Amino acid sequence: VPGAGAALRPCSSQVAQDGINKPVIDRIIRVDHAGEYGANRIYAGQMAVLGRSSVGPVIQQMWNQEKNHLKKFNELMVAYRVRPTVLLPFWNVAGFVLGAGSALLGKKGAMACTVAVEESISEHYNNQIRTLIEEDPEKYKELLQVIKQFRDEEQEHHDIGLEHDAEA
């Protein structure tokens, strides 16, 4: 009998799945993936309008970090076997429209959008950090490290927006 007595093929990921709170982890990764996907689309919309302006390189720098965030959450979705949200087509369109629409208001409009979005995302990441620490900080050490790093980078984007006249 093929496979009889053979060990199961190990999961291709390096993530130990034993004892994790699967619903909590699924929700965190799914939501963060959707958020990073949406952020990528916002910056794509802003670059479509302002990419050749004086603020284009600043937007591109933030977008490059968002691309790395999305790449990492794509990897985590595979590692933790999390399905993406069914709302990705919505985030695709809505994110681009929000980015382009805010950029049509000019640099200040784009930066105001960035500040508002990044403030919300930073708060969201802080709530997830609290949840994972309450669950078990050692068990979720890798995920906590990723979320903390991304929260700090999102806060940096927020501050960059403020430096570029978002409040005006």
Is 32 in contact with 87 (CB distance < 8 Å)? no
pTM of the model: 0.88
The DSSP output letter for 66 is: H
pLDDT in tens, 58-84: 999 999 999 999 999 999 999 999 999
Mean pLDDT for the stretch of residues 118-147: 97
DSSP H stretches of helix in 81-140: 88-104, 107-135
pLDDT at 1 over 60: no
Mean pLDDT for the stretch of residues 112-127: 96
Q: Which two tokens stand for residue 39?
A: 């952020």
Is 69 in contact with 150 (CB distance < 8 Å)? yes
Mean pLDDT for the stretch of residues 117-131: 97
pLDDT in tens, 94-116: 999 999 999 999 999 999 999 99
Q: Which domains are seen in the chain, by residue range?
A: 22-166 (1.20.1260.140)
Q: How confident is the model at residue 15 (pLDDT cuts 50, 70, 90)?
A: low
Is 79 in contact with 14 (CB distance < 8 Å)? yes
Q: What is the spatial distance between Cα 6 and Cα 87, in angstroms, rounded to a whole number? A: 40
